[in-house]
Structure 1
Amino acid sequence: MKKNLLLITFLCLSAFSFSQRKSELIAQIDNLRTELDSLGQQLAEAKREISSSTAKAETLEAENVGLRDANATLLKNLGNFSELSKQNTKNVNSAMSALAQKEKQLSGINDMISANDSTAIVSLTRIKQTLGENAKVNVSEGIIVISNSVKGLFGSDTGSEFTEEGKAWLSNVAKVIMANPNFTTEIEGLNITGEFGPTFDQVAAVAKELVGTLNVPSDKLDLSAKDGNFREGINIKLQPDYRAFYAQAKNSVKIAQ
């Protein structure tokens, strides 16, 4: 009887102990589940943060790539702009140099033209002193024009023999031509009838008198007969030697280059 009682007591104690341990295990399991749920939430939160951080990192990387590309493009454009600026500066300097060269050339030609005009004006004073104050002398576009009427030279419109007055006038004209060796001379006959034959004969007579009697070099004279447009007479035109002028201008251009 005692043995049965002890056995029952032992079994009861064992059952109670097992029950207690089971309760503890269940409690531990519940705690572990609670902790597991908490860890699961923390893991989920961490995953969300990681995902968000990854997305931000990818966005920043994309922006960084864009910025690098934009920076590279900007640097390239700056380089191109610098080269273009250098080229433009070079072109401007070249154009300015060419302009200065042209201005120098034109300045030399203008100086020669001014010198010819000045020479004509100075010569005009000397010519008037030679021919007399009443002589018909003027300057037009750098050309000195000495004029006389046909009647004053030949006594009539169609005459070819010089009057004494005409011979004296031609003698002074010859002095003017000889005193201005840098000028060329044109003997111009003006006609209002349209019959240039007699006019040219008169021009030739003037040339013959200047060359044959008054010793003017024949290579200094050019002859012409023209429509006088309601004017007639003989003009002696003294003008710069344009061939020499052009040669001098051409040489001036070469020197300026």
Structure 2
Amino acid sequence: MPKQAKKQSTSMKKSITTILVFIMTLISVQAQSKKDLIRELDELKLKLRTTETALSESRQLERTATAKMGSYETQVSELRETNATLLKNLNSFTEASNRRSDHINSTLESLQEKEAQLRVINDALARHDSIALSVFTQFKQTLGADPKITVSEGAVTVVMDNNYLFGNNSKNLNVQDKAQAIIAKIGAILKNNPELEIEVVSNSNLVASEDGKVNNWQIGTQQAATIANLFENNYEIEPKRIRATGKSELGLYSIETATEIRVQPKFYDFFKLVKENMK
């Protein structure tokens, strides 16, 4: 074989070897790349499944959250309606309570006003009772046990027999000397108690006229006027405080011929006070 041909043959073998090595290397690299690609593909598939699972869970959570939100919105709406109803009821209750409070306040004011009125009346009654008791005590201490002294319905009454005052003559209109002393004591007490009203009531039922007509009214009234005149003239008692009244068998409340001196607080002023306070 010529030397030149041998040299070419050797060169060709090297080239073929180089090509084979390149091809083998390329095949090896491709195989390795394919393996890596498969691995990456598997990893991507795993990530995809994980992502799909997470997405599914997220969607499930979204649906649950949406359902809860709808439930919450319904509850909020119901609560708003309930709150509005409660607020309306509260306003109605407040208005009713205010009306009741106003009514109670008005009633309390009325009760306080009535209480004040009753207090004034009770004080006046207590004052009258106190005055009557004081006068009764004065009569008892001053007159002693001889004349009959009573207390009834706020009035103090001194009862004296007409025989003692006017003597045995039923028609006599002059007070006997022995009775002047007790009339003086009564007059002094009445003068010292100017707030008292005085009523002199004389009862006569023993005298009859010749024609059968009784004139005890006249005698009783005149005898009562005699006592009233003594109080006015001798003991300076205002005549407007005194009232003289005659009795007879027609208006009889006692079979005795007696004279009563009845004293009591001025009930006209008391009734006027009551009337003014009850307006």
TM bracket (short chain): 0.5 to 0.7
Contact 2:200 2:261 in 1 (8 A): yes
Displacement of 1:64: 9.7
Distance change >3 Å, CA 104–CA 70, structure 1 → 2: same
Q: Deviations over 1:112-137 (max 9, x none)?
A: 21121112112211222222232321
Q: What is the root-mean-square deviation in Å for CA atoms of aligned residues?
A: 3.3
**Number of aligned residue pairs:** 198
**Which deviates more from structure 2 when the two are superposed, residues 205-214 or residues 82-91?**
205-214
CA distance in 2, matches of 1:160, 1:113: 37
Residue in 2 that maps onto 1:3: none
TM-score between the two structures when normalised by the length of structure 2: 0.60
For residues 172 and 82 of structure 1, the distance between their equivalents in structure 2, rounded to whole angstroms, comes to 71
Residue pair 1:192, 1:230 contacting (<8 A) in 2 also: no
Measured after TM superposition, the shift of residue 246 of structure 1 is 4.4
Mark the CA change 1:250 to 1:229 in structure 2 (over 3 Å): closer, same or farther. Answer: closer
CA distance in 2, matches of 1:85, 1:215: 65
Instruction: Give 1:88's aligned amino acid.
Output: R
Residue 254 of structure 2 aligns to a residue whose secondary structure is coil
SS of the residue 1:87 aligns to: helix
Show the counterpart of 1:238. Answer: 263
> Quick one: which of 195, 199, 208 aligns to 2:220?
199
Give 1:147 shift: 1.1
Do the aligned residues in 1 keep the contact of 2:156 with 2:264 (CA within 8 Å)?
Answer: yes
Q: Flag the structure with larger Rg.
A: 2
Query: Normalization by structure 1: what TM-score?
Result: 0.64
User: For residue 268 of structure 2, what is the amino acid of its counterpart?
Assistant: R
Structure 1 match to 2:156: 144
Residue 96 of structure 1 is matched in structure 2 by 108
Q: Does the 8 Å contact 2:191/2:235 carry over to 1?
A: no
Question: In the alignment, is residue 168 of structure 1 matched against residue 192 of structure 2?
Answer: no
> Once the 2 structures are TM-superposed, how far is the Cα of residue 213 of structure 1 from its aligned partner?
3.8
Q: Which runs of 5+ in 1 are unaligned?
A: 1-56
- In 1, Cα distance between equivalents of 2:129 and 2:116: 20
Q: Where do 5+ consecutive residues of structure 2 fail to align?
A: 1-69, 207-213
Counterpart residue number, 2:202: 189
Using the aligned pairs only, state the percent identity: 28
1:126 to 1:64, Cα distance in 2 relative to 1, 3 A: same
2:190 aligned with 1:177: yes
**Secondary structure in 2 aligned to 1:237?**
strand
Secondary structure, in 3 states, of the residue corresponding to 1:133?
A: coil
Q: Post-superposition shift, 1:216?
A: 3.0
SS of the residue aligned with 2:200? strand
- The structural deviation recorded for 1:88 is 0.5
Tell me: CA distance 1:152–1:103, structure 2 relative to 1, closer, same or farther (3 Å). Answer: same
Provide the residue aligned with 2:46 in structure 1: none
State the Cα distance separating 1:161 from its structure 2 match: 2.6
Q: Is the 8 A contact 1:146 1:237 kept in 2?
A: yes
On the 8 A contact 2:200/2:228 being kept in 1, the answer is: yes
Match in the other structure for 2:43: none
Contact 1:189 1:200 in 2 (8 A): yes
